[in-house]
Amino acid sequence: MDYNLTPDQRSMLDALAQSLATFDDAYWLDCDTRGVFPERFFEAMAAGGWLGIALPEQYGGSGLGVTEAALMMLEVARCGGMSAASAIHMNIFGPRSLLANGSQQQCERWLPDIVAGRVRMCFAVTEPNTGLDTTRLQTRAVRDGEHYVVNGRKVWTSTAQIADKIMLIARTAERDEEKPANGLSLFFTDLDRGAIDVRVIDKMGRKAVDTNELFIDNFMIPAADLVGREGEGFKYLLHSLNPERILIAAEAVGIGLSALARASRYACEREVFERPIGMNQAIQHPLAAGWARLHAARLMLLQAASLYDAGKPCGVEANAAKYLAAEAGMDVCRQAVATLGGMGYAREFHVERLYREIMIPYLAPVSQQLALCYVAERALGLPKSY
């Protein structure tokens, strides 16, 4: 067992550091304040080949694993928080469902454009009336000749303001109480704004990356844009859920490490009662405990990623990593604001932005409670509780 980075992973992170160096705090603060998508950052990531890190070389990717993608997203989040991570997150994990379940022809048609950043995608799963109970989602897709006609509503669809493509899950058959996951189908298709009314949600943080309500009215999807087989979409979705939890855990650790570095620097510089505030153990200990917890979460997410890359089950580890990283990140961000005192509340010191953004890995893509429900059931053998 070796938790050290390989020489290749180290040089990958060196190259990434160079790409990220041009995006400073002022850039991210400006994106957040004005609510504009970090276009220059997205283009730099595409030009550097980072969007295809975990996709095969035959589609323009680098052919690396989710482990490398997680290491990358940790650094991306350390640089620009969720404003940076969410700008590219979908391009990194979303295509895994297409790769695993789409036809060769579909992969050739879709993946090179995603890798090159020519196509931006959004992922529409969550619905207003079903929440985390995904098998009860109500958006319907009805086959009509060479098309499916889709009607329904989605909510919390991130990047739908700028996306060209939508990955959408909808019900194509009535819910079977015995097999509730059957009858859901996955589509990857053009986002037709004539049939989908995309309305932005005014939210707590990450103003640079939009999140939306979708009102879908007779949206025509070509049958050729159905991924895999009709009715098996939920199974396909599961394929990308563990990578998503691993990446979001990495992002939470990255945000936490950024907040921790800012708090530690401030604690060394700020003098009150004629000494640096960092000399007080009441300031030191929570920061040191945060360091320990963030690094423990990092190990768990790397374990989940290495299992995934080895083709082994990793659901317990991926959920545990997302839980641990979000808890540690949340505590560290709160402590960072407290360490900076009043200045922690000032936007120019950046920790308030990280505190607002760490709430996202806490809530999504699965809540802390549901992550624990999974661990309780699968690791401890407790009865399913939901």
Chain contacts with ligand FAD (rule: CB under 6 A): 123-126, 131-132, 156-158, 203, 211, 360, 363-367, 369-370, 373, 386
Closer residue to ligand FAD, CB minimum distance, 133 or 176: 133
Least Å distance, CB 159 to ligand FAD, is 7
Cis peptide, bond prior to residue 365, ω within 30 of zero:
yes
Residue type, 215: F
**Beta strands 184-190 and 275-276: pairing type?**
unpaired
Length of the chain equals: 386
Closer residue to ligand FAD, CB minimum distance, 326 or 340: 326
Closest to 64 measured CA to CA, from 49, 76, 78: 49
**H or E, element range at 178:** none
CA atoms within 13 A on the CB side of 143: 13
Least Å distance, CB 145 to ligand FAD, is 28
Closer residue to ligand FAD, CB minimum distance, 119 or 364: 364
Least Å distance, CB 202 to ligand FAD, is 12
Closest to 254 measured CA to CA, from 69, 92, 94: 69
Phi then psi for residue 35, to 5 deg, are: 70, 40
Closer residue to ligand FAD, CB minimum distance, 46 or 373: 373
Closer residue to ligand FAD, CB minimum distance, 55 or 169: 169
CB distance 354 to 336 below 8 Å: yes
Residue 140 burial by CB count (10 A; 0-12/13-18/19+): exposed, middle or buried?
A: middle
Closest to 70 measured CA to CA, from 206, 242, 238, 248: 248
- For residue 21 the two structure tokens come to 């160096």
Distance of CA 278 to the CA centre of its chain: 33
Least Å distance, CB 174 to ligand FAD, is 22
CB atoms within 10 A of CB 239: 16
Least Å distance, CB 170 to ligand FAD, is 12
CA–CA separation, 251 and 242 (whole Å): 14
Question: Facing residues of 168 across strands?
Answer: 124, 187
Least Å distance, CB 96 to ligand FAD, is 15
**Beta strands 211-222 and 271-272: pairing type?**
unpaired
CB distance 186 to 97 below 8 Å: yes
Least Å distance, CB 322 to ligand FAD, is 12
Residue nearest to ligand FAD (CB): 131
Closer residue to ligand FAD, CB minimum distance, 55 or 168: 168
Closer residue to ligand FAD, CB minimum distance, 289 or 364: 364
Least Å distance, CB 140 to ligand FAD, is 17
CB atoms within 10 A of CB 164: 13
Closer residue to ligand FAD, CB minimum distance, 16 or 250: 250
Least Å distance, CB 279 to ligand FAD, is 38
Closest to 336 measured CA to CA, from 350, 322, 324, 348: 350
Least Å distance, CB 167 to ligand FAD, is 9
- For residue 243 the two structure tokens come to 């990578």
Closer residue to ligand FAD, CB minimum distance, 330 or 340: 330
Closer residue to ligand FAD, CB minimum distance, 168 or 226: 168
